[in-house]
Amino acid sequence: MRDRAIRIGTFSGYLGDRFTALAEALDGDPVDVLAGDYLAEITLAVLAARHRRDPARGYVDYFLDQLRPHLATLAERGVKVVTNAGGFHPAGLADAVRAAAAEAGVTLSVAHVEGDNLLADLDALAATHPLPHLDTGRPLSSWGTTPIAANAYLGGHGIAAALAGGADVVVCGRVTDASLAAGPAAWWHGWAAGDWDRLAGAVVAGHVVECGPQAVGGNFSGFTGVPGMVKPGFPIAEIAADGGCVITKHTRDGGTVTADTVTAQLVYEIQGPRYLNPDVTVHLDDVRLTPAGPDRVAITGATGSPPPPTTKVALFGQIGYSVVNTVYVTGLDVDAKIALLREQLGRADGVDLDVTRIGVPAADPGSQWDATAAVRIMATSREKEPLERFGLAKRIGSLYLQSIPGFFHDGGGELAVRPRPRIDYWPAVLDADVVPHRVVFADGRAQDVPPPPQTSIVDQPAHPDPTEEPAGTRLVPLGTVAHARSGDKGGNGNLGVWTADPDAWPWLRRTLSTAGLRTLLPETAGLEIVRHEFPHLRAVHFVLRGLLGTGGSANLRVDQVGKAVGEYLRARLVPVPEELLQRKDSR
């Protein structure tokens, strides 16, 4: 156990994040551990298809390319690296890192964490466990799709054990995103598996920094007030022995850390005030944010209780193929133009066509592009052959002289022809004690990680809708007085809205009732909406069940993983009390 806080810096929030981030983190302020997160659910779908084609791969080569130039620096400074870039083959990536270190003449101990990949044992598990859908409760047998991947979400204790065993680099598969910080914190401070409050604090810290620059101003609705937004840096979590933490960033980098940028992450992709993880159930009700200096925000108040007896399992299966192209329509009669275009594209057995308009031409356009709307055309089929026979690109290409006026596609690229796999997502629930969790060290020695010493079932608290109506209002965009952050959890949209003004909180919670949200977001008609409040954060949080179909890798929505829902909501006009607007204007 160490007296000082562990400093955990991040260098990746998803596969494709800024390539130079690892180098930037090493050139920045000192850190003890560098954490790289690559496995968004939609990324798992892509890696699943890749691993199916070549079982020797399935890990994230991108991470290896980032790491290779810096192996000597890591060894010299003693900085640990923890990542979930192992994907479907963490052992393979661990071997690749060892080979790269040997080639560079560097001595680094590499361990990997395994047990999350359940595909080989899935039939045996399904014989005794129904693997029900996380949201609907339907058994896996009703899915009607053959799984090509099945990965359980592991906690951070395997990472802690790997570091305690001397590993310099820890390669994981599907651990929870927050485990990349919680595991190192448990190792550094010597926490036991039942230190619920400490673990809860570390999970909160990990949740805030797991998406990299999002904690310092990236994807933030207040981005116009963030300095250095051309290239925001990556956050650092300083996690103390009691589980409390300070979120900060590298001093020289762009971006900022404020209560709002941290709140944006706290309300991002959660289930409600009870944040379920394999190591601990985090109670977010009393979490508080306190400025702790320039670009420093302290997080306190998180408490923990035993985790649930089940864990989530991400299953993926191929449900067909798709071809997608985007064309443009211009000027007047846009709806009629799109209707004719849809009819001219025709129909074919076994092929479904989805035609979606994106945007509305301006009433008095100041440029040609102000008069233009995009039209996304997606053809889908269970099999590849009907799509190839349908020939979407040829059909679009045949219409230029016989269809609507003002119709074109992007002249900078060819129309897409080749069908791509569509991968469906099934988030299942499985008893955690049947999921293996082990660390494999460089010498081949394996160490099993025991399950939590205790589990419990905790329900999300209910928050009734407020009913009072404000008086003396003016219609303005919601974003005038509120921030928002949105994303995905499988097929569910996830939306957090908060205000920096304490006086605006009573109005915000009244306005964003469940009925109020349905009015502002007509797309939620017929969907179940789960609503929670976080008074200390002045935030309302919604789970929009089914908004994203069965998940980002399979739905036909243009905004596949709901990243823009929050900004859409902020653009809607709402009646805001004049006194709040006047106070905002005076500031």
Strand extents, DSSP E, 410-491 = 420-431, 438-440, 446-448, 473-477, 483-489
Q: State the average pLDDT for the chain.
A: 95
Q: Which of 144-153, 188-197, 311-320, 459-468 has the lowest mean pLDDT?
A: 459-468
Model pLDDT, residue 586:
66
* Cα dihedral: 88, 7, 213, 275 (round 10): 70
Q: For residue 513, which amino acid is it?
A: S
Residues 543-563 pLDDT 10s: 999 999 999 888 889 999 999
Q: What is the pLDDT of residue 81?
A: 98
Tokens of 283: 């109670």
Collapse the DSSP code of 427 into the 3-class scheme (helix H, G, I; strand E, B; otherwise coil) and give the result: strand
413: pLDDT confidence band, cut at 50, 70 and 90?
confident
Say what the pTM is. Answer: 0.95
How crowded is residue 16: how many other Cβ atoms within 10 Å of its Cβ? Answer: 12
In the block, residue with structure tokens 């693997």: 131
Cβ atoms of 198 and 219 closer than 8 Å = no
> pLDDT above 90 covers what percent of the chain?
91
Q: What is the pLDDT of residues 35-59, one digit of tens each?
A: 999 998 878 878 887 888 888 889 9
- Alpha carbons 85 and 550: distance in angstroms, whole number: 24
Task: Please report, for the chain, how many H helices and E strands are present, in that order.
Answer: 17, 26
DSSP state of 284: -
CA nearest neighbour of 143 among 384, 379, 381, 319: 319
Residues in Cβ contact with 96 at an 8 Å cutoff, skipping those fewer than 6 apart: 59, 64
Q: 514 and 527 in contact (C-beta within 8 Å)?
A: no
Specify the higher pLDDT residue, 560 or 467: 560
As a whole number of angstroms, the distance between CA 367 and CA 354 comes to 29
Closest by alpha carbon to 279, among 148, 392, 137, 176? 176
Pair type for strands 473-477 and 573-577: antiparallel
Predicted confidence (pLDDT) at residue 199 exceeds the cutoff of 60: yes
In this model, does residue 536 exceed pLDDT 60? Answer: yes
Start-to-end C-alpha separation, the chain: 47
- pLDDT, residue 587, reads 63
- Evaluate if residue 466 carries a pLDDT over 80: no
Q: Which two tokens stand for residue 136?
A: 């609907």
Residue 124 binned pLDDT confidence (cut-offs 50, 70, 90)? very high
Q: Determine the Cα–Cα distance for residues 540 and 464; give it in Å rounded to an integer.
A: 12
Give me the DSSP letters along 130-190. ---BTTT---GGGS-S-EEEEEE-B-SHHHHHHHHTT-SEEE-SSB-TTHHHHHHHHHHHT
Confidence class for position 141, pLDDT limits 50, 70, 90? very high
In what side-by-side order are the strands of the sheet with 281-283?
274-276, 281-283, 303-305
Total Cβ atoms within 10 A of residue 364: 6
Pick the residue with more confidence: 3 or 166?
166
